[in-house]
Amino acid sequence: MWHAWRRFKRQEDGVAAIEFALIAPIVLILFVGMVNVGFRFYEEARLNQATRETAEAAMFTRNVASLQSVLNAQLASLGPSVGGEPFTGTVSLSCECYDPAHPTQCAGTCANGLPSGISVSIQASLLYRPLFPLLGRTLTLQSKIQVQVR
């Protein structure tokens, strides 16, 4: 009996298979996590590119409808997201006085004598669903740019 036990302890047949069975799930989970993180940053970069392109168009026009159509075209050109969710975006125009004690004005000068500033706010978002949902959570990716045009 003891002789068989010693021989069993010295044998190394199948050790690699057992080690692989212990390590493989951990490596697979790490790989899937890296893929999910990679796709998240990929989608965020695409979203940022669409808002930057619209911000460049805002340098040439203050027409909100025109800028909204530029943003919609940029978002449509991205194609489908990894999770199949649609990209959404809004453009808004705001006028600001640089003195917070006075109300916002769009024309002429502010109450403190300084000219009012016109800025365009461009915002795009995506409800990001991970490629492997068991190892990630759904989150909203957002990109917001504010461009001062005057």
pLDDT in tens, 65-106: 888 999 999 999 988 888 888 888 988 877 766 555 555 555
2 alpha carbon, distance to own chain's centre: 63
Q: Does pLDDT of 48 surpass 90? A: yes
Task: DSSP letter for 109, please.
Answer: B
The confidence score (pLDDT) of residue 41 equals 93
Percent share of the chain, pLDDT over 90: 26
What's the pTM value of the predicted model, to 2 decimals? Answer: 0.72
C-beta neighbour count of 90 within 10 angstroms: 14
- Asked if residues 105 and 94 have their Cβ atoms less than 8 Å apart, the reply is no
Q: What is the pLDDT of residue 131?
A: 79
Q: Take residue 67 and report the two structure tokens written for it.
A: 């800028």
User: Using CA atoms, how far apart are residues 64 and 61, in angstroms rounded to an integer?
Assistant: 8
Q: Read off the tokens for 10.
A: 């010295």
